[in-house]
Amino acid sequence: MAIRIPPTLGLTRPGPSNAPKITFAAKDTDVLEWNGDLLAVGVTEKDVVKDDNNNFTNSLLKKLDAVLGGLLAEASSEEDFSGKSGQAIVLRVSGLSFKRVGLFGLGQSAYSAAAFVGLGEAIAAAAQASRAVSLAVALAFSADLSDESKPDIASSIAIGIVNGIFDDNRYRSNPKATVLQSVDVLGLGSGAAMIKKLKYAQYVSSGIVFVRELVNSPANILTPGQLAAEVLNIARNYSDVLSARIFNEDEIIEMKMGSYLGVTAAATANPPKFIHLCYKPPSGCVSAKLGLVGKGITFDSGGYNLKTGANSNIETMKNDMGGAGAIFGAAKAIAEIKPLGVEIHFVVAACENMISATGMRPSDIVTAANGKTIEVNNTDAEGRLCLADALIYTCKLGVDKIIDLATLTGACIIALGPSVAGAFTPNEELASEVLSAAERSGEKLWRLPIEESYWDSMKSGVADMLNTGPSQGGAITAALFLKQFVDENVQWMHLDIAGPVWNTKKSIATGFGVSTLVEWVLKNAS
């Protein structure tokens, strides 16, 4: 008799979402007239330069320090604050309209989205530590910025603040609520463009928080079925632009997705769910059809090639659905923004990679939906098997372009470290689009080659291909494998997000990918 595994093994029930509810506003208020808890000022190393009398030369800091009796200059000298990236100094003050003032370093210069997202995260940490309810952000160098850049800068800071303030405490017995309620952006303008961009930041931040909650959820809670339920809930909440279809195991068999079924059908008590979420604009014609495909392994044991040893990271393998989370977080943000002229298909072959007497074995041969056969020489390279059938399915929808996101290889982390995703595409136009979107979002991508000669190492003696090659160039051969399942007339990019999807130091999800995907979609919208 089959053993029934309870859907919430361990009697765990998640508490309510602790997604921050922060109001953002752009104001022309003078910093000395702002009333609230924490006034945060972003500074470069140039801004904190002092004259021979230990006075700031920057006009904003000079004015601020004048009412503080030189306290900021004195404290910054004593604490060796020089404006370097990551440095911060926060002081409790009295007799002014704000309770605390802080300087936050940006380094030698600050003109990248990544720098401003980081600034927002640093300010959020200070706001959380001081239990600030209200916060204002100003830049000491705002006079040097172009008017066109200011809305984007404010947006990046706002996204960083939400990401930094969010604390996923749904699984704690004594959760603490986030107290920050309002953020005023000072000195960057207050027109329609600024208001629109801050609203955009809230939509993107909401998508990022959603992803982080999905990826943080343990595998005894977020099963493939529960992931599908979360997607159905998104579709219901945004039914004016989103629709969803969930395929069960019998339907997956009918679609001949043998590569996907090989991973999941016989080895787990939690059945697979093939998820197709579709965005259609609220009005107008569609000029571009896009596909976003995410790896959705809700837990990866490695199968018979079991992850073992201290460096196997099996305890973090709930994050193996980070690619799926990213595309659904982007879907949530896009449903709020409602871009015109673009149709988007979000596709995930969700399942677990577990072990049983009937599970997939090394040397088994599986057949993908396009008829290609794969000899499985490593059951821990399961994500690409699921992605293969998902890519075939998405191409059949008639899309023009596809991006797939996957926590696919440790080789990519070795190559690029924990903070940078690898980007693979044979298409120069798509490469330019996505890398530009990443730069605008502040997320870090690096394009790696698709070296066709490496495909020789993926040849099987008995099937069309192996599912893994040698350890050298493992991220490249993984991309080459996926390429076999994409139509030649479809522009395609593979993003290996194995590193940046997870903050190892804090052991939490990052929500990586959402910002870049939303920017890319808007680039393709009319």
Q: What are the structural domains, with CATH classification, of the chain?
A: 23-189 (3.40.220.10), 208-408+499-525 (3.40.630.10)
Structure tokens at 504: 């190892």
Each of the 526 residues of the chain gets a pLDDT tens digit; together they read 344 555 567 888 899 998 999 999 999 999 999 999 999 999 999 999 999 999 999 999 999 999 999 999 999 999 999 999 999 999 999 999 999 999 999 999 888 999 999 999 999 999 999 999 999 999 999 999 999 999 999 999 999 999 999 999 999 999 888 899 999 999 999 999 999 999 999 999 999 999 999 999 999 999 999 999 999 999 999 999 999 999 999 999 999 999 999 998 666 789 999 999 999 999 999 999 999 999 999 999 999 999 998 889 999 999 999 999 999 999 999 999 999 999 999 999 999 999 988 899 999 999 999 999 999 999 999 999 999 999 999 999 999 999 999 999 999 999 999 999 999 999 999 999 999 999 999 999 999 999 999 999 999 999 999 999 999 999 999 999 999 999 999 999 999 999 999 999 999 999 999 999 999 999 999 8
Interacting residues of 254 by C-beta distance below 8 A, sequence separation 6+: none
CA–CA gap between residue 373 and residue 192 (Å, rounded): 55
CA torsion through residues 452, 319, 471, 417, sign: positive
Does residue 397 contact residue 289 with C-beta atoms inside 8 Å? yes
Secondary structure of residue 206 in the 3-state scheme = helix
Choice among 197, 212, 384, 483 that is catalytic = 384
Structure tokens at 166: 């969010």
**DSSP of 320-376:** GGHHHHHHHHHHHHHHHH--SSEEEEEEEEEEEE---TTS--TT-EEE-TTS-EEE-
Phi, then psi, of 105 in degrees rounded to 5: -75, 145
Type of residue at 301: S
**Which residue from 227, 303, 305 is spatially nearest to 268, judged by alpha carbons?**
303
**DSSP of 112-150:** SHHHHHHHHHHHHHHHHHTT-SEEEEEETTGGGS-TTTH
Does residue 247 contact residue 273 with C-beta atoms inside 8 Å? yes
Please indicate whether residue 384 is annotated as part of the active site: yes
CA–CA gap between residue 13 and residue 217 (Å, rounded): 11
Please indicate whether residue 307 is annotated as part of the active site: yes
CA–CA gap between residue 15 and residue 155 (Å, rounded): 30
Q: How many residues does the chain have?
A: 526
CA–CA gap between residue 475 and residue 450 (Å, rounded): 9
**Which residue from 171, 263, 274, 293 is spatially nearest to 220, judged by alpha carbons?**
171
CA–CA gap between residue 479 and residue 450 (Å, rounded): 7
Structure tokens at 273: 């769910």
Give how far the C-alpha of residue 517 lies from the chain's centroid of Cα atoms, to the nearest Å: 9
Tokens 């749904």, residue? 170
Choice among 307, 372, 444, 447 that is catalytic = 307
Q: Is 342 exposed, middle or buried (0-12, 13-18, 19+ CB in 10 A)?
A: buried
